[in-house]
Copies of this chain bind each other. A is one copy, B any other.
Amino acid sequence: MKEECGVAGIILPDDRPQSNAVAFKLYYALYALQHRGQESTGIMVHDGTSPKSIKGMGLVPDVYNKESLGRLIGNAGIGHVRYSTTGGSKIENCQPFVLNFKGGTVAIAHNGNLVNARKLKDELENEGRIFISDSDTEVIGHLLVKELIKHDPIESIKTVMRKLIGSYSLVLFINGAVYAVRDPFGFKPLCFGEVDGGYGIFSESVAIDTLNGTLIRDVRPGEVIVFPGSSFESYQLTAESHPAHCVFEFIYFARPDSIIDGKLVYKVRERIGRELAREYHVDADIISPVPDSGITSAIGYARESGIMYLEGLMKNRYIGRTFILPGQDLRETAVRLKMNAIQDNVKGRRVVLVDDSIVRGTTSRRIIDMVRKAGASEVHARVGSPAIIAPCYLGIDMATRQELIASDKTTKEVEGLINADSLGFLSIEGLMRALECDRNDMCVGCLTGEYPVEIPGEKCRKKQTRLDDFSKTKSSSQAVSSDSL
């Protein structure tokens, strides 16, 4: 089951009187992270003796209300927003998972996807363990609890990390403390900051901004940080020689105002537009974004090319869940309800449409047709990512290989299918220039079909040396007190 998620954790100093402040802050943080998952959400808060939680299907403002949040007393808590592909849409998969075991309470909020989940689950099932959900996160929970009954939390997390292959940015609550954990490749983002005298750990830094806090830094690949209350300690358990940050967080998934792994997403997207302009020049009259995802790249493209930036399409800000009249013009109405061409801006003009990516290609086709119908003389498509040719196994819900329009077609063929006068996908090199990053330090599996980790039936980009690395760095684990930062 593919899923996209946002995670959050907050702990306030324990000398502070217990209140519902953590619950309300988690609510605001999840609201700021809503774009990472709109299907279900949950918050757990712990007051030192027992956990209290709220979970539900739907958007953040639909699941919580003032009254229910007001009852969540406790100085530490974690939260989650989630989206999943059909099939996984049930209350049992809603996070955080709150697990009671011999040693107390563990709560887990997870963003990512394990590639060895099936194998780990098989092993656990062979021990007779049972699973309530379809989620990888429950696998992590089982592994963690197995260790926690024998070892301390840091040791336990370390042991579990050695078993997990794939992407995982975790916020954990274990018996009074909150933990941040990021996989050795650092696939999915995770950062932390100072919030109201305590600490907050979030998928993206916008949550810290919303809470009027101060970003401290990203959690590093392979790092575990424990937040017992008014301080924090870091354990660099292991890391790959090359990280593998997900390029799609930068291309379209994260909010543009977030800083991920030291890079402002907005800036990356603006440079993507500039690179596109350099790679695929075309004589045109206007540069228009496909709103909202193409806006920043279109600005960059216009600036680099010197061609006028002008919005040829307008988005309806109120489109959420809606239903569509059955019938032949079904999908077209859906697109027009969401987006409208501004005739005067495109009529008789050569238009460059800049979008973040093309997955199935069907929406691109409808948008280009709409711009043509509004009178554009030419429509050139420029795409802020290389062609997606392979599925993602590491936490982005894309599509199957069969559904990906570019998986078995040339750019020319795709150009024809979407009815564009010309089509340009950003090159991987261009993308890396925009990211100011080495290709070996990003995960580009969906663009190349070569993944940083071994996936059955797929190519692996390099010899796996993770376990060896791990042994070597193990001894260098060290606590860094927050004072030394």
| Given A212-B329, A292-B317, A336-B210, A322-B149 contact (CB < 8 Å) | no
| Given A267-B344, A342-B256, A145-B128 contact (CB < 8 Å) | yes
Return chain B residues, CB-CB under 8 Å to A310.
Answer: 270, 299
Instruction: Contact check, B90 vs A102: say whether CB atoms are below 8 A apart.
Output: no
Return chain B residues, CB-CB under 8 Å to A270.
Answer: 310
Contact of A252 with B by CB under 8 A? no
Q: CA of A97 to CA of B314 in the docked complex: distance in angstroms? A: 32
| Contact bitstring A121-147, B, C-beta under 8 A = 1, else 0 | 010011011111000000001100110
* Of B28, B142, B308, B337, the contact of A337 (CB 8 Å cutoff): B28
Return chain B residues, CB-CB under 8 Å to A321.
Answer: 61
Instruction: Contact check, B128 vs A149: say whether CB atoms are below 8 A apart.
Output: yes
Contact of A234 with B by CB under 8 A? no
* Of B24, B101, B266, B318, the contact of A60 (CB 8 Å cutoff): B318
Q: CA of A323 to CA of B257 in the docked complex: distance in angstroms? A: 23
Q: CA of A99 to CA of B24 in the docked complex: distance in angstroms? A: 33
Minimum CB–CB distance from A352 to chain B (whole Å) comes to 16
10 closest residue pairs by CB, A with B: A102-B125, A257-B314, A34-B318, A264-B344, A99-B130, A128-B146, A24-B325, A100-B131, A257-B342, A130-B145
Instruction: Contact check, B212 vs A342: say whether CB atoms are below 8 A apart.
Output: no
Q: 8 Å CB contacts to B: which residues of A364-383?
A: none
Contact of A406 with B by CB under 8 A? no
Return chain B residues, CB-CB under 8 Å to A266.
Answer: 311, 314, 342, 344-345
Return chain B residues, CB-CB under 8 Å to A34.
Answer: 316, 318
Q: Which residue of B lies closest to A55 (CB)?
A: B91
Contact of A349 with B by CB under 8 A? no
Q: CA of A257 to CA of B99 in the docked complex: distance in angstroms? A: 42
Q: 8 Å CB contacts to B: which residues of A448-478?
A: none
Q: CA of A299 to CA of B145 in the docked complex: distance in angstroms? A: 55
Contact of A119 with B by CB under 8 A? no
Return chain B residues, CB-CB under 8 Å to A440.
Answer: none
Between A and B, 30 residue pairs with Cβ closer than 8 Å are: A21-B325, A24-B325, A28-B333, A31-B316, A31-B319, A31-B337, A35-B318, A55-B92, A60-B318, A65-B323, A91-B91, A92-B98, A98-B132, A99-B130, A99-B132, A100-B131, A100-B132, A101-B130, A210-B336, A210-B337, A212-B333, A255-B314, A256-B314, A257-B342, A264-B345, A266-B314, A267-B344, A270-B310, A296-B311, A303-B308
Q: 8 Å CB contacts to B: which residues of A25-60?
A: 28, 31-32, 34-35, 38, 53, 55-56, 59-60
Taking residues whose C-beta sits less than 8 angstroms from the other chain, chain A's interface range is 35 or more
Q: CA of A447 to CA of B317 in the docked complex: distance in angstroms? A: 28
Contact of A72 with B by CB under 8 A? no
Q: 8 Å CB contacts to B: which residues of A199-225?
A: 206, 209-212
Q: 8 Å CB contacts to B: which residues of A95-129?
A: 97-102, 106, 122, 125-126, 128-129
Q: CA of A332 to CA of B98 in the docked complex: distance in angstroms? A: 33
Q: CA of A419 to CA of B135 in the docked complex: distance in angstroms? A: 50
Q: Which residue of B lies closest to A65 (CB)?
A: B323
Instruction: Contact check, B125 vs A130: say whether CB atoms are below 8 A apart.
Output: no
| Given A125-B102, A319-B31, A340-B210 contact (CB < 8 Å) | yes
Minimum CB–CB distance from A328 to chain B (whole Å) comes to 12
Contact of A239 with B by CB under 8 A? no
Return chain B residues, CB-CB under 8 Å to A92.
Answer: 53, 55, 98
Contact of A309 with B by CB under 8 A? yes
Q: Which residue of B lies closest to A207 (CB)?
A: B340
